[in-house]
């Protein structure tokens, strides 16, 4: 190439020394080439600097977007025991903001045990083949409260390493959403006055319990409770006093029956208790007698001692009814029999012919 450039200005590289005119032409060509080189170096350097600045701006924008959305990102090379994590993910994991590596073992250990197996299996699956997975998991509680995260895992082949998969993913903090949904469920299933199950939720639980008692060889009993003397208290002391009394009745019922036995405020001053047992009528009667004794103790309402009683009717599935509504009707009928027998007592449902 050098020989061609010299011949362009009339210099034979195999001849004698160049003339003065030839030296001038050679210097002009050299200067022109050097100037072009300097310009090229400047343009390349400027382009590299712009690319670096744009990359930094892009990374900064991504980090800001992650922080605003509460979305943390991570990457993992299968076979490695650490993940590369973003600053937002470090915050979600209660790590220092400048942490960029997270031990895989530490991540798994931080997840609630019931979700840990699912996360571990998802990562193993992603390490073996291309996948796109998503789900929800709970981090072990910080300050006693669990935190919910939505995760997404994606694995893709690495362009520069055929046969190797790169695994990446995101974690989104959905704790507030989950708590809001739980509050909605609570409002939908609870009686607002007493905090007991409402009628709709209780019927769901009753239907589910009916399907399980056959397998467990247990009996399912429904206790229908109606307070004696409540109307008089409401009329004499007002609805506010009546509401306070109903809340205290609910608390006493909670303290009397097993935590596994659902309680419902059926309406007004009526309550339902669902009991699964293998003890037959004697065991059910013993529970009912405990309820009678608990309600018989006077209540303190705004400094006033107020007393009510309770009449209880009991129906047993499937002996007394084969479906939910008929079981409630049977227990209700038994409760009215208790009222007719003098109130403050327990009656089991009996067919009309047996009464």
> Residue 156: which residues within 8 A CB-CB, separation 6 or more?
130, 165, 166, 168
Q: Is the Cβ–Cβ distance between 211 and 323 less than 8 Å?
A: no
Kindly report the three-state secondary structure assignment for every residue of 323-340.
Answer: CHHHHHHHHHHHHHHHHH
For helices 230-237 and 239-256, what crossing angle results, to 10°? Answer: 140
Residue in this structure with the two tokens 């005119």, named with its chain if needed = 21
| Degrees, nearest 5: CA angle 235-194-321 | 95
Active site residue 269: yes
Please give the structure tokens belonging to residue 347.
């009656």
Pairing of strands 101-103, 82-85: antiparallel
Task: Give every CB contact of residue 317 below 8 A, 6+ residues apart in sequence.
Answer: 210, 213, 219, 220, 221, 222, 327
In whole angstroms, give the CA distance from residue 244 to residue 193. Answer: 9
Phi/psi at 343 (nearest 5 deg)? 65, 170
As beta bridge partners, residue 145 has: 142
Identify the CA nearest to 60 among candidates 87, 42, 100: 87
**Residue in 191, 226, 269, 320 annotated catalytic:** 269
Catalogue the active-site residues: 269
């Amino acid at each position: 190439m050098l020989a061609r450039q010299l011949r362009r200005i009339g210099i034979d590289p195999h001849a004698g020394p160049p003339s003065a005119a030839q030296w001038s032409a050679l210097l002009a060509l050299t200067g022109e080439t050097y100037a072009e080189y300097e310009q090229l170096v400047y343009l390349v350097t400027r382009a590299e600097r712009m690319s670096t600045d744009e990359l930094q701006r892009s990374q900064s924008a991504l980090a800001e977007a992650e922080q605003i959305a509460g979305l943390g990102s991570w990457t993992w090379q299968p076979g490695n025991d650490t993940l590369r994590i973003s600053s937002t993910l470090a915050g979600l994991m209660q790590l220092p903001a400048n942490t960029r590596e997270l031990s895989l073992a530490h991540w798994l250990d931080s997840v609630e045990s019931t979700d840990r197996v699912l996360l571990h299996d998802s990562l193993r699956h992603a390490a073996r083949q291309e996948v796109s997975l998503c789900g929800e998991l709970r981090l072990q509680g910080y300050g006693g409260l669990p935190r919910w995260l939505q995760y997404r895992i994606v694995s893709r082949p690495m362009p520069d390493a055929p046969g190797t998969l790169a695994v990446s993913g995101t974690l989104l903090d959905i704790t507030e959403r989950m708590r809001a949904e739980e509050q909605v469920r609570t409002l939908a299933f609870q009686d607002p006055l007493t905090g007991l199950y409402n009628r709709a939720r209780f019927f769901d639980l009753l239907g589910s319990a009916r399907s399980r008692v056959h397998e467990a060889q247990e009996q399912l009993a429904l206790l229908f409770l109606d307070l004696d003397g409540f109307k008089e208290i409401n009329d004499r002391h007002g609805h506010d006093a009546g509401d306070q009394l109903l809340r205290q009745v609910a608390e006493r019922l909670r303290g009397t029956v097993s935590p596994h036995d659902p309680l419902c405020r059926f309406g007004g001053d009526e309550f339902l208790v669902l009991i699964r047992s293998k003890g037959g009528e004697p065991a059910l009667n013993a529970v009912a007698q405990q309820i009678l004794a608990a309600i018989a103790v006077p209540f303190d309402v705004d400094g006033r001692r107020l007393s009510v009683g309770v009449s209880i009717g009991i129906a047993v599935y499937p002996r007394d009814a084969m479906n939910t509504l008929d079981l409630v009707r049977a227990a209700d009928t038994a409760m009215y029999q208790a009222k007719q027998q003098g109130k403050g007592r327990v009656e089991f449902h009996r067919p009309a012919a047996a009464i």
